[in-house]
Amino acid sequence: MNEGVPERLASIKNRIAAACVRAHRDPVEVTLLGAAKRQSDDRLEAACEAGLQNFGENIVQEAEAHRRLLAGVDPTRHLTWHLIGPLQSNKVRKAIEIFDCVHSIDRLKIARRLDLEAGKANRKLTGFLEVNLGEEPTKHGFTPEELPLIMAEVRSRDHLSITGLMAIPPVSNTAAEARGWFRRLRELRDQFFRDDGCLSMGMSADFEIAIEEGATHVRIGSALFGPRASRSSRPS
């Protein structure tokens, strides 16, 4: 069922605007990404029809199917596609065909391959470095201590433009804890990009706090689309 998706989209846009007012920011500075992982076709179509412009995808193959699906909603609209999940090296070439931006560059090998394949495709790709703020063994990304050396290399790429940082912080029990993680990523952004770099941070439970701390891209799934389908219920 797609009932409620347009209303949820409108509500989220209002909440983004309110968070921007609190932070003395312009709402146009914040890009809403609809996190489409394991969402049904009718919900994605409903969001697209309601005006959602930017889609975040975790899986290359699923993104390819979603692009084909939504191309039929309004062929005149140019939707933008953002990879927000881990990228395997053997999927880089396909990712270059699908995505406008890769938020989850978590190792140098992937940055190098993205730059190489973007060059072969004669295109410019934007990307974010993923930071493992809590240095959690179960999460991807560079540690804050690794960033100086990583930035020194990735800035020399011809076809991959690194425009900011992305993080999935440790789960927080309080708003104050969440705010601390987002503030830390903003401080790292300011260190390497000054204040004009992008910040991909904040999801359904905490995007308003992320915006107050400087997020330029928020990745919202369940609050927009509703609960994800179980893996067993998705077609293979």
Q: Which two tokens stand for residue 182?
A: 């987002």
| pLDDT higher than 50, residue 232 | no
State pLDDT tens for residues 153-188: 998 899 999 999 999 999 988 888 999 999 999 999
Report whether 74 contacts 32 (CB < 8 A).
Answer: no
- Residue 196 is predicted with a pLDDT of 83
Report the mean per-residue pLDDT for the chain. Answer: 93
- Name the percent of the chain lying above pLDDT 90: 87
User: Which whole number is the average pLDDT over 47-74?
Assistant: 95
Q: Name the phi and psi angles at 52, rounded to 5.
A: -65, 130
State pLDDT tens for residues 96-126: 999 999 999 999 999 999 999 999 999 999 9
pTM: 0.93
User: Which whole number is the average pLDDT over 86-99?
Assistant: 96
Report whether 57 contacts 63 (CB < 8 A).
Answer: yes
State pLDDT tens for residues 119-151: 999 999 999 999 999 999 999 999 999 999 999
**CA torsion 52→2→98→86, rounded to 10°?**
100
Per domain, the residue ranges of the chain are 5-226
- Residue 228 is predicted with a pLDDT of 82
Name the architecture of domain 5-226: Alpha-Beta Barrel (3.20)
Report whether 52 contacts 73 (CB < 8 A).
Answer: no
